[in-house]
Amino acid sequence: MSRSQQLANFLLMYRITPHTSTGRSPAELFLKRQPRTRFNLIKPDLRSKIVDKQSPDVSTKFRQFECIDRVRVRSHRNGEEKWMPGTIVKRLGPLTYLVRVGEDVRHIHVDHLLRSGETISDHQPEYIT
């Protein structure tokens, strides 16, 4: 390898190496983008990894409830955790439901819901006397 080729390789490496003060390389500051080199083939492609992580996974299955399903709702009121009985009124999104708890109707995330072993026919509403 000739001296001029060694100098060119050194300058390329210097220009694509990020500086500690700016966090960016001189070439990126000049070109407004990071130039492609052979090292781009070695380092992982983060963009495709991010897209893969953000795409919906077929194997991931969320708990789903139907309207009028009996559930237990986690409540953190008064500083203590309780599971209160409730009924699904409507599905608002893939992870949120409208749930009747007592006389209140609340927006509840699926993480705060558990299936109740009861069915509608077995359950007598608490507020009817």
Domain of residue 116, CATH code = 2.30.30.140
Residue 75 domain boundaries? 63-129
List phi, psi (to 5°) of 13: -65, -40
Same domain? For 121 and 68 the reply is yes
At 20-31, the pLDDT tens digits run: 998 999 999 999
Give the residue among 64, 116, 67 at the shortest CA–CA distance from 88: 67
Same domain? For 75 and 122 the reply is yes
At 47-81, the pLDDT tens digits run: 777 877 777 665 556 778 988 899 999 887 777 76
Report the domain count for the chain. 2
Examine the pLDDT at 103 and tell me if it is beyond 70: yes
